Structure 1
Amino acid sequence: MRTIAADRGWVSCGRRRPTAAVRLYCFPYAGGGLAAYQPWAARLPEEIEVWTVCLPGREHRLDEAARTDLHGLVDELRSALAPQLAGPPAPVAFFGHSLGALLAYELARALREHGDREPAALVLSGRADAHHPPRRRMHTLGDDDFIAAVQGLGGAPSAALEHPELRELCLPTLRADITAAETYRYRPGPPLDCALANWAGDADAGVPPDAVADWAQHTTGPTRHRLFPGDHFFPWSTPNILTPLLKDIHPAQ
């Protein structure tokens, strides 16, 4: 499957669909990249064109330093993606998990602030709303404790740290991503007006479902709260996760 990159590799699309009804942009969790969403892109219907955000410090951007300042990273994302988001006419939706939820939300705000095209729908997953400070402070830990903390979360980042060669490669990027997420601070501003769905895992020890539900206060548009069985990486352990995703990126359904 041919990959099409846009503007310095910030996003990639495995298959362009010019007549798509929705363009879905997927934002990664800490340490994540294109690989996390490739299975979704293959399984979603033809009406959805999937673009995956690739941050510096991973995959085809491995030679770039990962960013530790989330607001600065959002500024870069807006500059890179705003021209692409402006057209074609299909509505745009954002999905973000954990770190990706913050990126998706703050990018939507930045687009509005600069008069750019905003997403019609946001799906924010596995992250307490923007007002909540992080419950964990992992980024200040020494390497051994940091690795143990990440492994306690499970998921793909934990699996990568089990292999010494991969650990050396991915540890700086993972630490930078978690630093960006844990040092983020909300800047007050008007709410969005797009549809907003928030997703939580019922066994996610670090992200209480009620704190995830608080994302509803950040839009004047329709909201939906979903609680799934599973830990922090529930979107990748829930067999039928694409069914609610399709409903939430089509807010009229």
Structure 2
Amino acid sequence: MAPPRGWASCARRRPTARVRLYCFPYAGGGLAAYQPWAARLPDSVEVWTVCLPGREHRLDEAARTDLTGLVDELRAALAPQLAGPPAPVAFFGHSLGALLAYELARDLRAHGDREPAALVLSGRAAAHHPPRRRMHTLDDDAFVAAVRSLGGAPSAALEHPELRELCLPTLRADITAAETYRHRPGPPLDCAITSWAGDADEGVPPDAVAEWARHTRGPTRHRLFPGGHFFPWSAPGVLAALAEDIGVQGRAPC
């Protein structure tokens, strides 16, 4: 496995891969959420996981609270890598990661770089929808309770006092970035967009997720999976669907 450095790392290099898939984290998430996918997706996919400041090997850096500025940093760091080799690039992002993937695609095009061939945007209403939750202004106890209601890895970390103290500032910064984001109108993308929603995600209505289709001139698809907000880590068939949505064939067991 390539050692993690900087903004993105690859858990399993595949020089002959037909697609390089960049995975963008949910609030509080990092490399650990996506690295197991590298072994379970087809050999034609090379998985790169984006690590934001404030977690894992970047724990000594301050987490960002401004999504636009964070995207600027991402583009500056990743644009040279995304430009080559010639294999197409696809982005997957869940929740906060969906916004990052979408805005990075827009920012790349605005600066004359190639946009990804496909976006898979999961667990977040389309960009023109303002956030329904306002968690980032809550006091710590109320904030922790709100995060716990979502389940998933961030909730589990908050159950342990030592981990809570360590991860709370980064989690709050990430959620601040997501909740203070405001969409800037502009021309639609040209890439394929697939939107994913959980049928029991109470905070993210599936019909609002499906409206990501408004943000591209390319082909679109909407998928509904069983589960709550963190359905990509529990629903059956997720990785098979992901392989199909980024345009590859091969065995992806679940």
Scaled by the length of structure 2, the TM-score of the pair is 0.96
Other structure's SS at 1:150 match: helix
Alignment partner for residue 164 of structure 2, among 167, 171, 184? 167
Is this contact kept in 1: 2:19–2:248, CA < 8 A?
Answer: no
Unaligned runs of 5+ in 1: none
Q: Name the CA shift for 1:251/1:48 in 2 (closer, same or farther; >3 Å).
A: closer
Pairs within 5 Å for 1:143-222: 143-222=140-219
> 2-side partners of 1:223 and 1:35: how far apart?
29
Range moving further from structure 2, 82-91 or 37-46: 37-46
> 2-side partners of 1:33 and 1:5: how far apart?
11
The letter of the residue matching 2:171 is: L
CA shift for structure 1 position 17? 1.1
Is this contact kept in 2: 1:121–1:251, CA < 8 A?
Answer: no
> 1-side partners of 2:10 and 2:75: how far apart?
18
Alignment partner for residue 26 of structure 1, among 8, 11, 23? 23
Write out the 4+ residue segments of structure 1 that deviate beyond 2 Å after TM superposition.
2-6
> 2-side partners of 1:183 and 1:95: how far apart?
21
Other structure's SS at 1:38 match: coil
- 1:28-86 deviations in Å (ceiling 9; x for gaps): 00000000001111111211000000000000000000000000000000000000001
C-alpha RMSD over aligned residues? 1.3
Is this contact kept in 2: 1:23–1:49, CA < 8 A?
Answer: yes
Scaled by the length of structure 1, the TM-score of the pair is 0.97
Aligned residues: 250
- 1:78-137 deviations in Å (ceiling 9; x for gaps): 000000001001000000000000000000000000011210000000000011011000
Q: Could you say which residue in structure 2 is the equivalent of 1:104?
A: 101
Range moving further from structure 2, 25-34 or 39-48: 39-48
> 1-side partners of 2:3 and 2:142: how far apart?
39
> 1-side partners of 2:13 and 2:232: how far apart?
24
Identity %: 84
The letter of the residue matching 2:217 is: T
Does 1:44 pair with 2:66? no
Is this contact kept in 1: 2:2–2:13, CA < 8 A?
Answer: no
The letter of the residue matching 2:8 is: V
Is this contact kept in 2: 1:195–1:251, CA < 8 A?
Answer: no
Pairs within 5 Å for 1:109-128: 109-128=106-125
The letter of the residue matching 2:153 is: A
Range moving further from structure 2, 163-172 or 42-51: 42-51
The letter of the residue matching 2:96 is: L
Q: Could you say which residue in structure 2 is the equivalent of 1:94?
A: 91
CA shift for structure 1 position 240? 2.1
